[in-house]
Amino acid sequence: MAAGTDVFPETRMAASKVSVETLKHFEPLSPLSDARLKELADLCRIESVGRNLDPFNLRSIAGQSVYLLRGELALAYGQGRSEVVVGGSADARYPLGKRRSFISAKAVTEVQLIRIDDDLLDIMLTWDQVAIQEQAGAQQPAERPASGADWSVMSGLFGINKLRLGAFSRLPPAHIDELLRRFERIEAKKGEVIIREGAEGDYYYLLESGRCQVERMVGGVSMALAELKSGDTFGEEALVAEAKRNATVTMKTEGSLLRLSKQDFNALLREPLLRGINMEQAKQKALGGAEWIDVRYMSEYQYDKLPGAVNIPLSEIRNAFGALDINKEYVVYCQSGRRSAAAAFLLAQRGYHVYLLEGGLWGGDRLP
């Protein structure tokens, strides 16, 4: 390919946003589905760097996959070896420095770069490769996963943000294949009760399509608490806390759900997501700036709260989503560890840095 040939739309348009078609030209992005690439494109921007500048003195390349979109970039490898990479060439299809580390870089002409976080890219590639394998492995109808779902295109339930920050972000890679296999897909009718208040916890649910109403009996009157939409999860509190269902969830429309049995939920999601620490470790976290969250009722909290703790009862923890600092660490506790385990899971599921005080206040020495 001749140097300077424009093969990407942005080389003509000089747009600030990256297109799906552009990303398809790069490796190892090309095997990703259009749905995945669209998510990735929404997170990418084109970076312009002037002639004679080293782009990586301005912004480090560490922890990133950086692609040369346009222009000419000279790379020095040491011992007098160097090369010029040209945007649009075969070499430019691969991230700079991944196949061969360089010492310095210099823009021969003005260049345009695209940067992608390495961890984010690795998460996407891992999930998508497992999903593709899962689909390809089901050659016969009898061999297809119980879910019957096309995991490779389910960007709503398994979108980038959920894989990076949500319930699946700390899932060990070895668990991914099993998780996809064990989800069961069910169809639901409008008005159908999925879980009933007071019943035993049996499944963890992800709403694939449709809408659900969440209600709870208060003083003999049913009160609407929330409406769930596609991509939302529910049913985890009773499983984590080993308690009865605390609300009723009813389909407002027809829809489909994915469900995971209690046993599979505990083995594949609960344990990886909950990070338990003892009181001594919790003290050190608090000294380092972590904040205590007491998830008991106010009547319990006001008499024996830990110094500096804030009170967010388990029943109100969902209202704290968005209000708590996503960059801060939290240590969650209750009396026994049961309620705080449920709260910690709910917070961790949404990307918060949260630790569970093992055994609660009954499980170890109190702070002075």
Instruction: Pick the closest to residue 115 from 199, 38, 56, 197 (CA basis).
Output: 56
Among the listed residues 107, 206, 334, 357, the single catalytic one is 334
C-beta of residue 333 within 8 angstroms of C-beta of residue 294: yes
Long-range contacts of 80-88 (CB under 8 A, 24+ apart): 84/108, 86/3, 86/4, 87/8, 87/11, 87/111, 87/112, 88/1, 88/4, 88/5, 88/6, 88/7, 88/8, 88/11
Pairing of strands 329-333, 184-188: unpaired
**DSSP-assigned letter for residue 16:** S
Q: CA–CA separation, 251 vs 215, rounded Å?
A: 11
**Do the bridges between strand 291-294 and strand 329-333 make them parallel or antiparallel, or are there none, so unpaired?**
parallel
- If we measure between CA atoms, which residue out of 55, 65, 138, 50 comes closest to residue 98? 65
- C-alpha dist (Å) from residue 242 to 72, 246, 270: 60, 11, 12
What is d(CA 199, CA 20) in angstroms, rounded to the nearest whole number?
Answer: 47
212 included as an active-site residue: no
Q: Which residues touch 210 (CB under 8 Å, ≥6 apart)?
A: 188, 230, 251, 252, 253, 254, 255, 256
With 0-12 CB in 10 A as exposed, 13-18 as middle and 19+ as buried, what is 334?
A: buried
Active site residues: 334
